[in-house]
Every structure is written in structure tokens, then in C-alpha cells.
């Protein structure tokens, strides 16, 4: 079953790597008491993710925060070291929190996975964005496999 507007986000572990090391985070607790602009990409360093999806959130990070977003977070089914390196490349200022769903557990709990085995990527997160308020989904934009039209920061801004 796919997560829906009004649902509480699942209590599933994700990972974050920063200068102090690797940290295991409970996703529901991470979102508690905050407004989170959350987006998920099928893979770090992949073309659409790197050239369009991530940059849309980076270029709109200040506007999102001005409209009440406390945290912008990006997730991919990659390990925390890859997510840190990708974040440092595209977001050296650290405006976006990089979350690794290394075992595809959060994407699976959301019901938003794709099988990218044909491209050598295995099980991955679908491309989507959501606005989360105090651990509750208040908007959700999912893409068809291979698409990039609905999950940009520009679309999510309309929900604020």
C-alpha cells in the first residue's frame, strides 16, 4: 500500500553521514515537530537526479525555508558515504540533509519502490516529493517510472 496524504510517516531507520561520522536516524522522529520538504531520487549521481531533481531543491532552498520549511531532505537507496559525497558535490553549503535508505526499507514502507534491475540498479526508491508536517504527510507527488514532471521543488512550493 502506498503512503497517502494524512498518513504518519513510518518509523524506519535511515542513515546520515557528516563530519562527526555515520548516524542512524528514525525517520518518524527526524520529522517530528518540523515541516520537512522531502524528496527521493532513484540514485545519486544518476542523470535526471543530478541534473534536474536535486538542483530544483537546491535552487529553491531559501524560498522553501521562507515559506515555513524547517528541513529539506533528500533520500536515495545508496549508502551514507555515497550520499555524503553527492551532497558535498551539489550542495557544499549543506542546505539539504542527505539521507541514505541503504536497504530500501523506507521506500518499501512508503510503498514507493521501483525495480531498476534492467539498468543495473536493483530495487530503488521511486522518484517523489512530499511535504511532511510533524511526521504527517500533507502533500505527495509521485512520478511514473522514468518521469520527472511532478516531484520538483517548484511543484512542492505550491503546497506551502
For 42, list phi and psi in degrees, rounded to 5: -65, -30
Place of cell 527521493: 40
Q: Could you tell me the pLDDT band of residue 116, with boundaries at 50, 70 and 90?
A: confident
Question: Is-catalytic flag, 49?
Answer: yes
Instruction: Give a yes or no: residue 84 inside a domain.
Output: yes
Tally of domains in the chain: 1
Q: CATH number of the domain that 121 lies in?
A: 3.40.30.10
Instruction: Give a yes or no: residue 2 inside a domain.
Output: no
Instruction: Give a yes or no: residue 1 inside a domain.
Output: no
- Position 32 scores a pLDDT of 98
Instruction: Give a yes or no: residue 146 inside a domain.
Output: yes
Instruction: Give a yes or no: residue 4 inside a domain.
Output: no
The rounded distance, in Å, linking the Cα atoms of 131 and 31 is 10
Per the structure, the complete domain to which residue 138 belongs is given by: 13-157
* pTM score of the predicted model: 0.96
At CA 32, angle to CA 133 and CA 151, rounded to 5?
40
The DSSP output letter for 113 is E
The rounded distance, in Å, linking the Cα atoms of 83 and 87 is 6
The rounded distance, in Å, linking the Cα atoms of 23 and 32 is 17
Q: Average model confidence (pLDDT) for the chain?
A: 96
Per DSSP (E only), the strands in 28-135 are 35-41, 71-76, 96-100, 113-115, 123-125, 128-133
The rounded distance, in Å, linking the Cα atoms of 97 and 26 is 14
The DSSP output letter for 127 is P
pLDDT in tens, 35-84: 999 999 999 999 999 999 999 999 999 999 999 999 999 999 999 999 99
Amino acid at each position: 500500500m502506498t503512503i497517502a496524504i494524512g498518513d504518519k510517516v513510518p518509523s524506519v531507520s535511515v542513515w546520515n553521514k557528516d563530519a562527526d561520522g555515520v548516524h542512524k536516524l528514525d525517520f518518524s522522529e527526524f520529522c517530528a515537530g518540523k515541516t520537512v520538504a522531502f524528496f527521493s531520487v532513484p540514485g545519486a549521481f544518476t542523470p535526471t537526479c543530478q541534473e534536474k531533481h536535486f538542483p530544483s531543491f537546491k535552487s529553491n532552498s531559501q524560498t522553501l525555508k521562507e515559506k515555513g520549511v524547517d528541513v529539506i531532505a533528500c533520500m536515495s537507496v545508496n549508502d551514507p558515504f555515497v550520499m555524503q559525497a553527492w551532497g558535498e558535490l551539489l550542495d557544499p553549503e549543506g542546505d539539504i540533509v542527505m539521507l541514505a535508505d541503504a536497504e530500501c526499507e523506507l521506500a518499501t514502507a512508503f510503498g514507493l519502490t521501483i525495480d531498476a534491475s534492467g539498468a543495473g540498479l536493483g530495487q530503488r526508491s521511486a522518484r517523489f516529493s512530499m511535504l511532511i508536517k510533524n511526521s504527517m504527510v500533507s502533500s505527495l507527488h509521485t512520478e511514473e517510472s522514468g518521469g520527472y514532471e511532478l516531484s520538483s521543488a517548484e511543484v512542492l512550493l505550491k503546497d506551502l
